Every structure is written in C-alpha cells, then in structure tokens.
Amino acid sequence: MLWGGYEEAQRKVAGVFPNYLEPSPEHFPVAPLTFSYRGEDILTHRDFLGAFMALGLKRTVVGDILLEPGRCVAFVKMEMADYLLQNIQKVGKVGVRGETGFVGGLPSGFGFLDISGVVASERLDCLVAFLCRVSREKAAAMVSGGLVAVNHRECLSGAFRLNEGDLLSVRGKGRF
C-alpha cells in the first residue's frame, strides 16, 4: 500500500504487509503538522521546504506541503514531527505556530486552471511550448535538458507523442 497522509497525496510511503495484517493508513509513520501564520503574510511551498531543509532534514522525510492563506499543512515522517514543532518558529521572516494534526479540511493544495488553444501537433515539444509560453526551440531545449516528465517519467525526446489523459510536468513551470 502507498500512503502519504491523505488519499490524493503526491509523495507517499510504501508499506509492505504480511498476509495476516490488513493494509491500513494507521500503520504508516506519517504525521500531519499544521503551521498557522497571519493571512496577510505570503509564504510559499518553497519557503516551508527551505525552513525544513535548513534544519538538516532530507527531502525524503517531508511529504506533501499544502498551503492556503494563513495555514500550511505539511506531512512528515512521524519521528521528525516533534523536532520540527520545537525548531520551527519562523519561516523566512514570518512567525509561525505549529501543532500536530490538522483541524477542518485540508488546504486545496494544487488547483488546475483551464487553458485552451490550438497546437500544431501532439508532439511533446509543441505542447511544452504552448503551455509554458515559450518558443518551440526553447521548449525542445527544456525537453532535452531533462526538465520535462510525462506520467512521472523523464522524457528527453521532443518528438514523443502525448495521449489524452497524460500528465505533463515541467520543472519550474507546473503540471498539466
């Protein structure tokens, strides 16, 4: 079973269970932490991840980080939860208050924006150019530079043809 603290998690922990034990989320060492701050302050995913990494944590210890104005819910390995709560009082220059768990629903996390337009073909470099608003030449360089993944696998060929429902990730630009 794969579990990251909630059903739609993108970063998950793999669990292997013996035949006599039913796989269940409560067997996973994943803890949600909520960090509250003033809604007027602007903090990003990068700010929180940077604060966690500055404490010497490895990226494998931190799961999804979901944000909304004034609140962040981060999923971390259980053994590091108390350490983070004790050591994170500021993220950047903004004071935060941490607590275990989360109250109410999860922040919406990642939203999707409808984008429509005409693309010459379903080639990867054409779609990257359209979605990232760059020339096809720059898009081809992004693809060959390893910045593009299709269905979570790096793709280095601009001629690769995408199918309906494929997930396209462009490092630094987003998911489509």
Does pTM top 0.85 for this prediction?
A: no
Match 């960090």 to its residue by tokens.
Answer: 35
Inter-helix orientation angle 136-144/124-132, to 10°: 110
Are the beta carbons of 25 and 15 closer than 8 angstroms?
Answer: no
Tell me how far CA of residue 162 lies from CA of 18, 49, 79, 145, in angstroms.
39, 32, 41, 18
pLDDT at res. 75: 94
All domains of the chain, ordered by start, with CATH?
2-100 (3.30.70.330), 124-175 (3.10.290.10)
pLDDT tens for the chain, 176 residues: list them.
999 988 888 888 899 999 999 998 888 999 999 999 998 999 988 999 999 999 999 988 999 999 989 999 999 999 999 999 999 999 989 999 999 988 777 887 556 678 888 888 889 999 999 999 999 999 999 999 999 999 888 999 989 999 988 989 898 888 88
Q: Which residues pair with 57 in a beta bridge?
A: none
pLDDT at res. 111: 62
Where do runs of H (alpha helix) occur along the chain?
Answer: 45-54, 78-87, 124-132, 136-144
Give dist(CA 41, CA 72) in Å, integer.
12
Eight-state DSSP code of residue 160: P
pLDDT at res. 113: 75
